[in-house]
Chains A and B, each alone.
Chain A
Amino acid sequence: MAEQRTASGPIGARIRRTEDPRLLAGQARYLDDIRLPGMLEGAVLRSPYPHARILRIDVSRARELPGVFDVITGAEVRELAAPQPVIWQQIPDQRMPESYALPTDRVRYVGEAVVAVAAVDRYVAEDALELIDIEYEPLPVAATLDEALAEDAPRLYDQWPDNKMGQHTFTRGNVDEAFTQADVVLRETLYYGRQMGLPLETRGCIASWDTYTNQLDLWLSTQGAHVNRDLMGEALRKPVHEIRVRVPDVGGGFGNKLDFYIEEVLASLMSRRTGRPVKIIEDRVESFVANAHSREQRMEVELAATSDGVITGIRGTVWAVLGGRLSGAACGPPWLSAAVMAGPYKVPNVDVSVVGVFTNRSPIGSYRGWGQPEATLVYERLVELLARKLGLDRNEVRRKNFPAPEEFPFPSTVFTYDSGRYAECLDLCLSGVEKNGWKERQAAARAEGRSVGIGYGFHVECTAFGPSRVLNAVGVQHSGFGQSVVRIDSTGRVTVYTGEVPMGQGIQTALAQVCAQSLGVPIEDVTVIAGDTDSCPYMGYGTGGSRAAALGGGAIIRAAEKLKKQIRDIGAHLLETAPEDLVIENGRVAVSGAPARSVSMAEIGNAAYRSVGKLPAGQTPTLEEREVMDPEDLAWAYGCTAVLVEVDRETGAVKVLDHLIAHDCGTVINPMIVEGQIHGGVAQSIGGALLEELVYGEDGQIQTTTFMDYLVPTATDMPPMQALHMETPAVHIPGGIKGVGEAGTIAVPAAIANAVDDALDDLDVTVTAIPITPPRLLAKIRAAQEQQS
């Protein structure tokens, strides 16, 4: 598949994921596999109205149903809990509606939770939901962005004069002058549809509140154990030492399992009230309204350039279609769209705003890519449209606007990119396209009358999220550092305790590789423990923002360095030599140049814990180091995606025939895992580009609540995929590791849009909306054909 690299140690080796055998054999333990004695199962009654006043809630009949243990309403939640925390507060003076886990007086989207029930099982719980009587007074609906922005729009929050949640503007240079002096100005309005991450395992929680000790045990299907413990403490007004969060195997988390939700609060409160553990698992239908939605934004943008293709300015507005309340991520992803709107290019003059707008839709939250696929759609469409307008080669225009490697660290509009060789990455992608014969395939197809096109998308990816001071500076109400503990036990085996959370991405294998390499032990001797706030060290944020390899790995590298000093000291004492004469390799500590004079890691461990008399004087027993990884700045990965697509001009259907990405995530720990991340990301973004859309009717009712309506890609929609690796070390991360979790996801929609335009180049079609559905594209084709005739 990818270029073969040779690795001398575990880092860079194509090692099979140690997680996989049990996952593949059905031996994983997901949240629903956990059954505690006396456990109840919960269900949530959700609003059928997009906007309504709650006049009366009568739960008496539900309470009387045999098997029902608790029914909780908004009024009761208000007495027991605080408003739901919102950690993303990066928009200056952003409006912060005070939202509790359940509302008392008003619902603002279809699917908003109104009442929760705990019963002997989910069947009875759902029966009880049918016995709850709620009287609503429907209110006028702001179902779309335009309706919410209209002069006479129904207001979602009476305390504010309009539906705007806030605005943030990023400026640089003199954008007015740039546009006045520009040889060429492009204007586009691009729409990115509402989509969401859909983990195969839906969200779920178990809460067990011991009313004698006040200890709350939580099992969450989450990406962030510690952050959720802290937020739970805030929501329940409970000191966090009384809360333990454990994370069982997670069946996928695509960002939306990082956000903090209401169900875990409700389960905790009902457990407290009933004295029994309460499990709430979101079912698939609920997941389409209760799990964070993402992406939806309208982007009105203008680009100024010289006649030879040098970009001189970008200005515009990202209209973020938020929902009826704020998720923990608030307006974060659209904010990032605006912040990285210049992408990989040197744009001296910028004036880009993000405006968050409340609508009667489900809340917007996190989803793999987090604003970056949307921004990439803008800058990668504009760069190709500029080339088209000027009659220049599109990749020459890209190349012309890249910062050179020596210009790094490169200050972009908001963030500083640490390292990169962008032109080289573009060349690697183009050579892959050349080698795979895409141009010949395109020519041959065209000779048969088929419409085949090639499209590119060059992206930058914010990874190693994130440095606490950077997070705090941009308004995140939480830290972001990573932390790991590395322990060698009395038998010389190594256990890593990390704050990072596995969710199927293979992080246990990757971190074991980093640890094995750093310590000089076989990878089989390393165990990685994660997902427990009692045994694992505190970590900021959560495992999102493509961070686990960089921050988890970086912390391990540093802890291992400190541990190696202790190992050498003990080894030197045992071997009667000097510590600097020792090498640690393959689990043995040996005198350099005299491998026969060595001790095993087991002997070192034994000395450290049991035969303490063998330790050098002054050496403290045990072998353990803890390291916090809070880097000075982020690590910016990047890549160039190419796709080959075919368009059916009669139906508007698009098929992706082939895919290729050249990318750079710094040091590659395990090419197989990197490729797996890319494959999954590509599948999601092909779905995003062509199939997936959460559709709301004019009445504000959601129309996509099953997999028959919300279409995710299947095997038949997937092209062959290829990844070509480059390795430019991260500047601020030990080991040079950057993240790769979102690399496959970010640029594919832009590349497909560009490829569709290319397939239809004789018609001068410009794709402006994602997903590119057959009816949407056919309308464009027909309009272009009419224009021509």
Chain B
Amino acid sequence: MKPASVEYHKATSIADAVDVLSSTEDEDAKVLAGGQSLVPMLSMRLARPSVLVDINGLTDLDYIRRDGDWLSIGALTRSRAVEKSAAVRDAAPLLSEAMGFVGHATIRNRGTIGGSVAHADPAAEAPAVLCALDAELVITGPAGARTVGANDFFHGFLTTAVGPDEMLTEIRVPVLPAGTGCAVEELARRHGDFAMVAVFAAVTVGDDGRCTDARLALAGTNPTPVRAREAEAVLVGSGLTAETIAQAAQAAAGVTNSANDIHAPAEYRRDMASVLTRRALRRAASDANVVV
């Protein structure tokens, strides 16, 4: 468990980091942020980049800002800072709750939200919750910055829209409208583990008690985080009754597409998607002051 030899570059600016990323032959430079996934992969020699670009000195990527209807989070912001931020809790309480499920406090103190998103583990919380929130991800490369919606960002298992000469620099989250209730339900073998299944739910309820908007994202069930669009459609316009919630839960199970692994067979994950969706929606409805 000792890494192969690797060149280390401490980035002095975003431009400098991008410069190294784009000038590396074989396009195999890796960005080192919190190191919570990359360092073990290096130690097990599962990742063998020729260059490590350490961005921990780029403090201008470490921020949480409210800009009107948007919440902007620098990619280098530690997960613990996101979890504890009053601005995040105010703008997107679903994100605050989700961050509490990321590993343990020591992992969150070091790991960054940008690192988790860029690593794109399908069972991780950050990618899925950003899909639920319709977040936008800012990617910076030699040609400048571009923005990709979270739901278009994850291309497959550990693969994203970020090119080899680019890096994730910012996460932008639209502020949730008033009347929105949130809930995260996660089933993991132990607290702090990657999710076997996690469901991130946000439901917005109008004055008439009907659901005007619903977002449901799943982690752990597919090669990427997924939105349960059909389930959302069941809810929008409905009164968030036990029946519609059960229907939506059923529909959510339909989007799952996982393989058997050591922790659970595929059908178990599918069933749990339904159970957890129901539990999450009931809590989210209650959070929006709807009595189910």
Contact = CB atoms under 8 A, between A and B. Distances in A.
B144 to A, nearest CB: 37
A778 B271 CA distance: 10
Given A651-B187, A703-B262, A708 B193 contact: yes
Nearest to A121: B2
Given A126-B2, A284-B1, A651-B275, A711 B189 contact: yes
Contact of A778 (B3, B190, B191, B268): B268
A695 B275 CA distance: 27
22 contacts: A123-B2, A123-B5, A126-B2, A126-B4, A126-B45, A127-B5, A130-B4, A283-B1, A284-B1, A650-B275, A691-B190, A706-B40, A708-B194, A716-B190, A716-B191, A716-B192, A717-B190, A774-B187, A774-B189, A774-B196, A775-B265, A778-B271
Given A130-B4, A716-B190, A775-B263, 14 more contacts: A122-B2, A123-B2, A126-B45, A127-B5, A285-B44, A650-B275, A651-B187, A651-B275, A693-B262, A695-B262, A703-B262, A706-B40, A709-B262, A774-B264
Contacts of B271: 778
A94 interface: no
A704 B189 CA distance: 14
Interface string A638-674: 0000000000001101000000000000000000000
A27 interface: no
Interface string B1-15: 111110000000000
Interface of A: 122-123, 126-127, 130, 283-285, 650-651, 653, 691, 693, 695, 703-704, 706, 708-709, 711, 713-714, 716-717, 773-775, 778
B195 interface: no
A40 B8 CA distance: 26
Contact of B1 (A285, A709, A713): A285
Contacts of A711: 189-190, 193
Contacts of B196: 774
Contacts of B275: 650-651
A651 B276 CA distance: 9
B277 to A, nearest CB: 12
Nearest to B3: A123
B272 interface: yes
Given A122-B2, A283-B1, A695-B262, A714 B187 contact: no
A653 B187 contact: yes
Contacts of B2: 122-123, 126
A382 B187 CA distance: 32
A773 B3 CA distance: 34
A714 B191 contact: yes
Contacts of A122: 2
A584 to B, nearest CB: 52
Contacts of B262: 693, 695, 703-704, 709
B190 A713 contact: yes
B30 to A, nearest CB: 19
B192 A714 contact: yes
A691 B189 contact: yes
Interface in B182-239: 187, 189-194, 196
Contacts of A285: 1, 44
A14 to B, nearest CB: 32
A693 B262 CA distance: 9
B49 to A, nearest CB: 16
A284 B263 CA distance: 20
Given A717-B190, A775-B265, A651 B272 contact: yes
Interface in B260-283: 262-265, 268, 271-272, 275
Considering residues A127, A285, A651, which has the most beta carbons from chain B within 10 angstroms of its beta carbon?
A: A651
Given A651-B272, A709-B262, A774-B264, A714 B190 contact: yes
Q: Which 7 A-B pairs have the closest CB atoms?
A: A283-B1, A716-B191, A775-B268, A123-B2, A695-B262, A650-B275, A775-B264
A731 B193 CA distance: 48
Nearest to A126: B2
Nearest to A778: B268
A713 B265 CA distance: 22
B219 to A, nearest CB: 15
A707 to B, nearest CB: 10
B40 to A, nearest CB: 8
Nearest to A712: B190
Contacts of B191: 714, 716-717
A773 B268 CA distance: 12
Nearest to A696: B262
Nearest to A709: B262
Nearest to B44: A285
A530 to B, nearest CB: 31
Contacts of A773: 189, 263
Contacts of A706: 40
A122 B43 CA distance: 12
A118 to B, nearest CB: 15
Nearest to A286: B1
A632 B265 CA distance: 52
A706 B37 CA distance: 13
Interface string B224-258: 00000000000000000000000000000000000
A509 B95 CA distance: 50
A96 to B, nearest CB: 34
Nearest to B187: A651
Nearest to A703: B262
Nearest to B272: A651
A122 B271 CA distance: 46
A781 to B, nearest CB: 11
A690 to B, nearest CB: 9
Nearest to A691: B189
Contacts of A123: 2-3, 5
